[in-house]
């Protein structure tokens, strides 16, 4: 049986005891998947997995707190489930995790850059093991999956769901690379260059908060300080400075909690490379606290604890 | 008036206009196309893709300063400074759907009783030079909401790509004025080619969906929260759809205190946000995303048409569909209401 058939059969076995199971289905065109909320066996016919199933469905879990539900996760998404459990934001016993062994998902901006015409003109997509055959505006092109792979997949250390009640598929190997050229290039820039970069980039931000709401760990949502009126922490002015301030608040609140699923960057309608901030912050957290969020159950995020003397912060040595 | 302008001369037109007015044009940066203030030396990106954000900021900016309050440490009475928008703007290279969006604002911001001076001033001082579409994206449905790929409603000039330039058709006096410039040349018989391209683009869109029953059918589902919970299950309640939308016109007003001075600003609001209907008492009539999505869809396809002669408050550009992080499809929701059987 295929991985999809195995998954369908596993979900079918558990569906009766669950409010719903969250997976993916074909979206508004052949190049896009969209989240699917499976409530009946008939819904299962629409389930899809594969390189277009990009959404981290763990984002929806907190909304179902107190109910028993199922969720289909890739390796990266499973880290978000773990982090939510570790922070007591969801109850592990209420969630049935259908874990996938994942060989990577695509980046839509990379596909867009590789196609001869706007992906909005897509006519058909055939997904092979290592390639995608895409017909767009009457022209058919074959893209190597490795060329359009999401950045997070290029350095993925957890392709197989870390926690799973049912693990589906053949285990995949972690990526050989552990750093991205785009990150290294950015970090090598001077402070002045970085400032100029963010001023330009943040002038595109429209403060729609797609980055915030797509984030599985941004659980304040309706009560975010970015939109509070009393006190008015942030101006509603969408100047580059205010936009950057919001992004700084966002990234700081995720210190030690971000699972690097990349949903913030994927959700951004104006392609702001938010992962540059996340990866940098995560690297600091790893260096200082030897912590990577969502990699094991029973971890405590470092900023959730207080120690008079942090082992790796030598305050008196400064 | 019908004339022709080469691609090169269109760039020169943008450069010339930028000397005296604010020119907004689609510009590509890091793979994202958005409307930016055009300056000589910049490259307009008219054809690679439709701009991610609509051109509505030309007449309804994301942040509008309504007034400035100046205080002097020694003076007791603060000085109020009016900040009505000044100067002229030209939008170049928006699609017909983007230009048409602001027409939805008119019956709201300019009535017998209420006149919004900020919007009216910007609207009356902005010229829209739109570009007709030559093929529909999978998310396009302008033909189903009373428009089409070569619609001139809301535009002053409509360009259609023919050869290495554009057939330009002006539909307003402001458009005529610009087309008198020497950068435009005689169109010869290129107009026929433009007609054929416009017709072909419309043909490619296929049959229009009939939304006639939508207002009543959506109203019939108003109290059916099971329906709205199912439709909104994948919505993440962010504001991407409303901020991208050419026809969403809701706003917030907040005061920014800057020491002795302060300013009152009007910024885009969005009905997907918790704070949109949060009342002073703490009560929120739209406490869940299901309530909020119901409002967004209902407003566009039911309440607004009921109040404004059946006009659907959507121009079918499809931005809310393709830019939605979760792929929520407004067409699918309205269809579900239309096809709903008890």
Domain count, chain A: 3
Note whether A172 and A238 are same-domain residues: no
A188 plus A308 within the same structural domain: yes
Does B336 touch chain A if contact means CB atoms closer than 8 Å? no
CA distance B182 to chain A (A): 33
Q: What average pLDDT is seen over chain A? A: 94
A-chain CB neighbours of B63 within 8 Å are 236-239
Q: pLDDT tens-digit profile of A239-290?
A: 999 999 999 999 999 999 999 999 999 999 999 999 999 999 999 999 999 9
> What are the tens digits of pLDDT across the range A59-117?
999 999 899 999 999 999 999 999 999 999 999 999 999 999 999 999 999 999 999 99
| Residue A283 and residue A189 share a domain | yes
Torsions phi, psi of A268, nearest 5? Answer: -65, 120
Residues A191 and A279 reside in one and the same domain = yes
A303 or B320, which is more confident: B320
Question: A65 vs chain B: nearest CA distance in angstroms?
Answer: 14
Shortest distance, CA B32 to any CA of chain A (angstroms): 6
Of B326, B328, B329, B332, which to mutate for an interface test with A (greatest number of A Cβ within 10 Å)? B326
Residues A246, A303 within the same domain: yes
pLDDT digits (tens), chain B, 342 positions = 999 999 999 999 999 999 999 999 999 988 899 999 999 999 999 999 999 999 999 999 999 999 999 988 777 788 899 899 989 999 999 999 999 999 999 999 999 999 999 999 999 999 999 999 999 999 999 999 999 999 999 999 999 999 999 999 999 999 999 999 999 999 999 999 999 999 999 999 999 999 999 999 999 999 999 999 999 999 999 999 999 999 999 999 999 887 888 999 999 999 999 999 999 899 999 999 999 999 999 999 999 999 999 999 999 999 999 999 999 999 999 999 999 987
Residue A103 sits in which domain range? 1-107+157-178
Nearest 5 degrees, angle CA B291-CA B295-CA B299?
Answer: 170
Query: Of the candidates A148, A166, A197, which is a domain's last residue?
Result: A148
Size of interface A-B (CB pairs under 8 A): 139
The whole-number pLDDT of residue A280 equals 96
B265–A236 C-beta distance less than 8 A:
yes
Nearest-by-CA chain B residue for A234:
B256
* pLDDT tens track for B218-266: 999 999 999 999 999 999 999 999 999 999 999 999 998 878 889 999 9
pLDDT, tens digit, 9 for 90 and up, residues A165-179: 999 999 999 998 889
Digit-coded pLDDT (tens) for A30-47: 999 999 999 999 999 999
pLDDT above 70: residue A119: yes
Q: Is B137 on the interface with A (CB under 8 A)?
A: yes
Q: What is the pLDDT of residue B252?
A: 94
Check CB contact under 8 Å for A55 and B275.
Answer: no
Task: Provide the pLDDT for residue A317.
Answer: 65
Return the residue matching tokens 């027409």: B103
* ipTM for this prediction: 0.94
Contact A208 B270 (CB under 8 A): yes
* Cβ of residue B273 closer than 8 Å to a chain A Cβ: yes
Q: A207 to chain B: which residues are within 8 Å by CB? A: 62, 239, 243
> How far is the alpha carbon of A316 from chain B, nearest alpha carbon, in Å?
38
Considering only CA atoms, which of A270, A198, A267, A115 is closest in space to residue B26? A270
The answer on A27 and A7 residing in a single domain is yes
CA separation for the pair A79, A276 (Å, rounded): 19
Q: State residue A69's pLDDT score.
A: 97
User: Chain A closest CA to B74's CA: distance in Å?
Assistant: 27
Q: Same domain for A173 and A34?
A: yes
Residue A203 sits in the same domain as residue A96:
no
Flag whether pLDDT at A318 surpasses 60: no
Q: Spell out which residues of chain A touch residue B322, defining contact as CB-CB under 8 Å.
A: 28, 120
Dihedral-angle region of residue B262 (phi above 0 means left; psi in -120 to 50 means alpha; beta otherwise): beta
B316 within 8 A of B245, measured Cβ to Cβ: no
The 10 Å Cβ neighbour count of residue A289 is 18
At A232, the pLDDT band (50, 70, 90 cuts) reads confident
- Contact criterion met (CB < 8 Å) for B138 and A137: no
pLDDT score of A199 more than 80: yes
Q: Could you tell me if A169 and A127 lie in one domain?
A: no
Residue A156 buriedness (CB in 10 A; 0-12 / 13-18 / 19+): buried
Sign of CA dihedral B270, B271, B275, B280: positive
Q: Does B34 touch chain A (CB under 8 A)?
A: yes
- Does the beta carbon of B234 lie under 8 angstroms from any beta carbon of chain A? yes
Closest alpha carbon within chain B to A137: B135
Give yes or no: residues A81 and A11 share one domain.
yes
Indicate yes or no: CB of B139 within 8 angstroms of CB of A210: no
* Judgement on whether residues A205 and A271 belong to the same structural domain of the protein: yes
Which residues of chain A make contact with B325, given a CB cutoff of 8 A?
A: 55, 210, 213-214, 263, 266-267
Which pLDDT score is estimated for A38?
A: 98
Number of H helices, E strands in chain B: 13, 12
Question: Is the Cβ pair A213, B238 closer than 8 Å?
Answer: yes
Query: Are residues A165 and A28 both part of a single domain?
Result: yes
Q: Count of CB atoms within 10 A of residue A30's CB?
A: 18
d(CA A38, nearest CA chain B) in Å: 11
| Residues of chain B neighbouring A109 (CB-CB closer than 8 A) | 31
Point out the residue among B29, B233, B239 whose CB comes nearest to the CB of A200: B29
Q: 3-class SS at B240?
A: helix
**Chain A interface includes B28 (CB < 8 A):** no
Q: Which residue of A has its CA nearest to B332?
A: A28
């Amino acid at each position: 049986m295929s991985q999809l058939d195995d998954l369908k059969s596993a979900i079918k076995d558990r569906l009766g005891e669950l409010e719903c199971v969250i997976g993916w289905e074909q979206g508004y065109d052949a190049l896009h998947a969209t989240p699917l909320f499976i409530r009946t066996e008939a819904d299962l016919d629409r389930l899809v997995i594969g390189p277009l199933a990009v959404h981290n469905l763990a984002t929806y879990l907190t909304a179902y707190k107190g109910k028993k539900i199922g969720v289909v996760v890739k390796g990266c998404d499973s880290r978000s489930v773990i982090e939510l459990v570790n922070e007591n934001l969801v109850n592990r016993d209420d969630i049935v995790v259908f874990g996938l062994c994942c060989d990577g998902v695509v980046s839509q901006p990379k596909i867009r850059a590789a196609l001869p015409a706007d992906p909005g003109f897509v006519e058909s997509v055939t997904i092979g093991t290592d390639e995608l055959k895409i017909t767009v505006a009457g022209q058919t092109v074959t893209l190597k999956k490795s060329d359009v792979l999401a950045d997070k997949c290029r350095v993925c250390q957890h392709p197989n769901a870390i926690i799973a009640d049912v693990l589906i598929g053949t285990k995949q190997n972690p990526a050989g690379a552990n750093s991205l050229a785009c990150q290294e290039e950015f970090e090598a820039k001077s402070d002045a260059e970085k400032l100029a970069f963010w001023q330009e980039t943040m002038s595109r931000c429209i403060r729609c908060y797609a980055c915030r709401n797509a984030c599985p760990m941004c659980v304040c949502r309706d009560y975010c300080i970015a939109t509070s009126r009393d006190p008015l922490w942030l101006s509603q002015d969408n100047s580059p400075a205010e936009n950057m301030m919001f992004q700084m608040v966002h990234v700081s609140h995720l210190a030690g909690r971000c699972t690097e699923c990349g949903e913030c960057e994927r959700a951004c309608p104006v392609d702001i490379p938010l992962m540059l901030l996340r990866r940098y912050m995560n690297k600091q957290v790893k260096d200082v606290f030897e912590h990577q969020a969502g990699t094991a159950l029973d971890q405590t995020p470092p900023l959730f604890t207080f120690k008079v003397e942090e082992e790796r912060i030598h305050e008196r040595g400064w | 008036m019908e004339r022709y302008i080469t691609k090169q001369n269109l760039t020169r037109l943008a450069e010339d206009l930028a000397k005296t007015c604010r020119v907004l044009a689609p510009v590509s940066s890091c793979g994202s196309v958005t409307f930016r203030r055009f300056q000589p030396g910049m490259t307009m990106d008219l054809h690679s893709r439709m701009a991610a954000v609509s051109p509505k900021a030309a007449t309804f900016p994301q942040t509008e300063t309504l007034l400035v309050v100046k205080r002097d440490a020694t003076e007791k009475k603060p000085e109020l400074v009016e900040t009505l928008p000044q100067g002229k703007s030209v939008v170049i290279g928006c699609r017909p759907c983007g230009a048409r969006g602001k027409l939805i604002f008119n019956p709201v911001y300019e009535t017998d009783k209420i006149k919004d001076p900020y919007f009216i001033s910007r609207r009356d001082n902005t010229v829209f030079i739109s570009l007709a579409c030559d093929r529909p994206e999978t998310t396009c449905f302008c033909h189903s909401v009373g428009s089409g790929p070569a619609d001139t409603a809301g535009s002053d000039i409509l360009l259609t790509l023919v050869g290495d330039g554009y057939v330009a058709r002006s539909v307003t006096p402001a458009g005529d004025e610009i087309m008198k410039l020497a950068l435009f040349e005689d169109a010869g018989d290129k107009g026929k080619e433009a007609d054929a391209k416009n017709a072909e683009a419309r043909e490619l869109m296929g049959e229009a969906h009939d939304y006639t029953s939508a207002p009543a059918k959506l109203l019939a589902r108003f109290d059916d929260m099971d329906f709205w919970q199912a439709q909104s299950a994948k919505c993440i309640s962010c504001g991407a759809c409303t901020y991208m939308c050419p026809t969403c016109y809701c706003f917030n007003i907040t005061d920014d205190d800057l020491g002795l001075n302060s300013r009152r600003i009007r910024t885009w609001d969005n009905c997907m946000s918790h704070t949109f209907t949060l009342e002073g008492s703490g009560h929120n009539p739209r406490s869940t995303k299901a309530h909020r999505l119901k409002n967004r869809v209902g407003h566009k396809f039911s309440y607004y048409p009921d109040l404004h002669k059946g006009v659907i408050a959507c121009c079918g550009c499809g931005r809310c569909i393709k830019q939605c992080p979760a792929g929520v499809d407004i067409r699918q929701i309205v269809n579900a209401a239309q096809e709903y059987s008890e």
